[in-house]
């Protein structure tokens, strides 16, 4: 079952439009507000709801609006004059399920399916019909696509409510959620967690201009639709975990002021337990300094692709023979096309989406190995997230326009006060020199903002990308390591 396949409707529509319970809430932050998954948010926005109603485009409860006729609040998709939902055909799974509800058991150990006595119709319904409907829904909940969707959106499972009558336990869903959350202290990584991770990074005293690009919240959050990210804090140490189809790993070492060796030992012990001893357990993006600090630990080490670091002045000026080809390409754009650059705004999202699709097609027409194809497939969701909440992620976005048409865009972030990291860069490949021109102008803007260094991230092991990055003559390649437990 996909989210586009509606659950069977139990309460007759004629009864729903006469109800004064659904879609109305006593508090603006009611925990009963419907939850929308990423796809459901996109569908709701396409139906006219504002993106600002959703605090997190990866998945969130909808923001309520004040009811002008009472002291309460309304779902913004609800029209109180007609008692109808403005996005009914595209309403989220959470609303389709009602008046049934998914919730954790009172002791928090199992997921249960129940019926909500707050629904007036359910108080009058024939019990046998309720159970028959619940049985049909329960069968749908056991489908693989539904289990995967619920596991990726654990906040669809509500807290225990005494006025919800339990109809059935859901062991398959419970097991799936335990797989995604094997420790009750784990919390899904959300947009509102950015300040917490930033504070943890500051406490860990990560090196300045030599910091890896991975030492920033945004670096990980943009992949939240591809990987399942979780975090926990223990004794002042921030642990970031990620769950992939292969198992659990740590994208960065533990962040905090405690002994790194001690906290790494704790993190690896968690991974060993959750992965049932699988060799997939590892910690990525370990710096050279951290590797030295862990010299006495029973770990095995492997190289990860290094980050490329440049002098901002060099990339802004492109002076001398070593930058002759890049300078010539920039000059070609200045002569042949009237390209202007300006800050990205939300209104640019449709044009950037069109450019991205054109750029992907152009890339695929060229020479791409298997890894390059995989990266392109994963990039779609990441770019959507960047366009939607780039400002809230602290990203600096720029669009390049030619004849009132968006032909390029770039987004980056401040990795340290002296280092600007370029996160994504897209340029119309039918305009030779545009990519070099946009990159140079991005570096010039960063230098004007105080950057001494530009971090262009790694090359993902792609030979063409590696050659392009090396052609700009990095002042350093910042080593990155993967630490794994020694295998017996």
What is the mean predicted confidence (pLDDT) over 254-266? Answer: 93
Residues of the chain with pLDDT > 90, as a percent, come to 58
Q: Using 50, 70 and 90 to split pLDDT, how confident is the model at 6? A: low
Whole-angstrom distance, CA of residue 111 vs CA of residue 446: 50
Dihedral of CA atoms 242, 248, 251, 253 in degrees, nearest 10, equals: 120
**Has residue 414 got a pLDDT over 60?**
yes
User: Exposure pattern of 191-214 as b/e (b: 16+ CB <10 Å)?
Assistant: bebbeebeebbeebebeebbbbbb
Higher pLDDT, 99 or 423: 423
Q: Is 392 helix (H, G, I), strand (E, B) or coil?
A: coil
**Has residue 129 got a pLDDT over 90?**
no
Q: Is 97 helix (H, G, I), strand (E, B) or coil?
A: helix
**Has residue 368 got a pLDDT over 60?**
no
Q: Using 50, 70 and 90 to split pLDDT, how confident is the model at 1? A: very low
Q: Is 215 helix (H, G, I), strand (E, B) or coil?
A: coil
Whole-angstrom distance, CA of residue 155 vs CA of residue 83: 27
State residue 130's pLDDT score: 82
State residue 235's pLDDT score: 92
**Has residue 161 got a pLDDT over 80?**
yes
**Has residue 221 got a pLDDT over 70?**
yes
Dihedral of CA atoms 460, 462, 468, 470 in degrees, nearest 10, equals: 70
Q: Using 50, 70 and 90 to split pLDDT, how confident is the model at 4? A: very low
Q: CA quadruple 416, 285, 383, 229: dihedral positive or negative? A: negative
Whole-angstrom distance, CA of residue 96 vs CA of residue 247: 32
Whole-angstrom distance, CA of residue 189 vs CA of residue 233: 12
What is the CA 406 to chain-centroid distance, rounded?
25
Q: Any idea what DSSP says for residue 8?
A: P
What are the structure tokens assigned to 320, written together? Answer: 């001398």
**How much is the mean pLDDT over the chain?**
89
Written as one string, the DSSP assignment of 236-256 is: TEEEEEEEETTEEEBSS--BS
Residue 11's φ and ψ, nearest 5 degrees, are -80, 125
State residue 112's pLDDT score: 94
Domains of the chain by range and CATH? 13-180 (no CATH), 188-305 (3.40.630.30), 308-480 (3.40.630.30)
What pTM did the predictor assign? 0.80
What is the mean predicted confidence (pLDDT) over 256-282? Answer: 92
**Has residue 2 got a pLDDT over 50?**
no
Residue 131: burial class (beta carbons within 10 Å; 0-12, 13-18, 19+): middle
Higher pLDDT, 203 or 454: 454
State residue 246's pLDDT score: 83
Q: Which residue, 434, 425, 443, 459, is CA-closest to 356?
A: 425
What is the mean predicted confidence (pLDDT) over 296-304? Answer: 94
**Has residue 279 got a pLDDT over 70?**
yes
User: Exposure pattern of 426-456 as b/e (b: 16+ CB <10 Å)?
Assistant: bbbeebebbbbbbbbbbbbbbbeeebbbbbb
H/E stretch holding 103: strand 100-104
**Has residue 481 got a pLDDT over 90?**
yes
State residue 8's pLDDT score: 73
**Has residue 164 got a pLDDT over 50?**
yes
Q: Are 287 and 481 in contact (CB under 8 A)?
A: yes
Cis peptide before 92 (omega within 30 of 0): no
Q: Are 275 and 248 in contact (CB under 8 A)?
A: yes
State residue 283's pLDDT score: 97
**Has residue 42 got a pLDDT over 70?**
yes
- Residue ranges with strand state E in 117-180: 164-169
Q: Using 50, 70 and 90 to split pLDDT, how confident is the model at 3? A: very low
Question: 478 vs 70, 309, 310, 411, CA distance in Å?
Answer: 59, 7, 11, 21
Q: Which residue, 223, 440, 462, 433, is CA-closest to 366?
A: 462
**Over 320-375, what HEC string results?**
CHHHHHHHHHHHHHHHHCCEEEEECCHHHHHHHHHHHHHHHHHHHHCCCCHHHHHH
**Has residue 234 got a pLDDT over 60?**
yes
State residue 177's pLDDT score: 86
């Amino acid at each position: 079952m996909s989210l586009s396949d509606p659950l069977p409707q139990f309460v007759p529509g004629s009864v729903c439009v006469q109800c004064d319970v659904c879609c109305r809430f006593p508090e603006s932050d009611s925990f009963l507000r419907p939850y929308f998954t990423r796809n459901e948010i996109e569908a709701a926005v396409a139906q006219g709801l504002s993106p600002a109603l959703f605090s997190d485009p990866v998945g969130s409860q909808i923001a309520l609006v004040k009811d002008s006729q009472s002291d309460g609040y309304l779902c913004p998709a609800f029209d109180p004059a007609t008692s109808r939902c403005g996005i009914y055909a595209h309403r989220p799974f959470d609303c389709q399920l009602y008046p049934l509800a998914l919730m954790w058991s009172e002791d928090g150990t199992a997921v249960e399916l129940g019926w909500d006595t707050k629904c007036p119709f359910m108080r009058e319904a024939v019990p046998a019909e309720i159970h028959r409907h619940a049985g049909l829904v329960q069968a749908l909940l056991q489908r693989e696509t539904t289990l995967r969707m619920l596991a990726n959106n654990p906040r669809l499972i509500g807290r225990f409510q005494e006025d919800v009558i339990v109809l059935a336990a859901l062991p398959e869903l419970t097991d799936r959620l335990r797989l995604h959350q094997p420790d009750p202290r784990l919390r899904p990584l959300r947009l509102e967690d950015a300040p917490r991770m930033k504070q943890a990074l500051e406490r860990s005293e990560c090196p300045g201009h030599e910091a890896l690009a991975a030492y920033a919240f945004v670096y990980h959050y943009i992949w939240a639709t591809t990987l399942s990210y979780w975090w926990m804090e223990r004794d002042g140490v921030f642990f970031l975990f990620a769950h992939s189809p292969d198992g659990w790993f740590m994208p960065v070492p533990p962040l905090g002021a405690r002994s790194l060796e001690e906290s790494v030992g704790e993190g690896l012990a968690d991974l060993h337990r959750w992965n049932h001893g699988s060799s997939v357990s590892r910690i990525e993006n370990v710096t050279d300094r951290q590797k030295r600090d862990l010299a006495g630990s029973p770990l095995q080490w492997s190289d990860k692709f290094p980050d490329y670091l440049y002098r901002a002045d060099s990339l802004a000026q492109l002076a001398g023979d070593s930058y002759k080809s890049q300078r010539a390409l920039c000059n070609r754009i200045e002569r042949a096309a009237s390209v202007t650059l300006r800050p990205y705004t939300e209104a640019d999202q449709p044009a950037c989406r069109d450019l991205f699709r054109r750029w992907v097609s152009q890339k695929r027409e060229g020479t791409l190995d298997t890894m390059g194809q995989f990266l392109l497939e994963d990039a779609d969701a990441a770019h959507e997230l960047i366009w939607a909440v780039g400002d809230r992620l602290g990203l600096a976005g720029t669009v390049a326009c030619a004849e009132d048409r968006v032909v390029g865009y770039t987004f980056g972030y401040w990795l340290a006060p002296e280092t600007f990291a370029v996160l994504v860069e897209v340029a119309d490949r039918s305009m030779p020199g545009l990519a070099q021109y946009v990159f140079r102008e991005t570096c010039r803007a960063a230098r004007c903002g105080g950057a001494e260094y530009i971090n262009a991230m790694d090359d993902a092991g792609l030979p063409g990308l590696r050659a392009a990055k090396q052609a700009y003559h990095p002042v350093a390649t910042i080593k990155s390591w993967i630490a794994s437990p020694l295998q017996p």
